């Protein structure tokens, strides 16, 4: 198996993206460092939007799951709810898939 990393993945939760990937220094075609670092977490969300990846509730509907109607349906974490409100207000339909999957309540026995 080929991998870029040599460390175990972290828990699939909000705010657990490796710090070094949030401030990635990339190089141009000539091998020189570009002046602006890249936030790979933000770039993943941007790319999903650009590629028209379904939003969180759209995917839930497509899987015949009940869509969320308020942030408390997604998570019990007050800090996460506050952050989601700051970004999206009360519009749960704007929630990006990646963020929603990381924020949602985990079932007993999930991962950890």
pLDDT in tens, 35-84: 888 888 888 999 999 999 999 999 999 999 999 999 999 999 999 999 99
- The structure tokens 């990006």 sit at 96
pTM for the model: 0.76
> What pLDDT is stored for residue 3 in this prediction?
56
DSSP state of 33: B
Give me the helices (H) in 25-77, please.
Answer: 40-50, 56-62, 71-74
| Strand-pair partners of 105 | none
Q: Report the pLDDT value the prediction gives residue 109, as an integer from 0 to 100.
A: 73
Helix (H, G, I), strand (E, B) or coil at 38: strand
Asked whether the predicted pLDDT for residue 7 surpasses 70, the reply is no
Q: What is the pLDDT of residue 92?
A: 96
């Amino acid at each position: 198996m080929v991998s870029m990393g040599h460390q175990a993945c972290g828990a699939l939760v909000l705010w657990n993206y490796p710090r070094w990937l949030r401030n990635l220094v990339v190089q141009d075609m000539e091998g020189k460092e570009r002046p602006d670092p890249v936030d790979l977490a933000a770039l993943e969300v941007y790319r999903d939007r650009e590629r028209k990846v379904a939003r969180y509730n759209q995917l839930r509907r497509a899987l015949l799951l009940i869509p969320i109607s308020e942030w408390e349906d997604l998570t019990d974490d007050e800090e996460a709810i506050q952050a989601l409100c700051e970004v999206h207000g009360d519009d749960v339909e704007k929630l990006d898939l990646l963020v929603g999957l990381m924020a949602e309540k985990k079932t007993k026995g999930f991962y950890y």
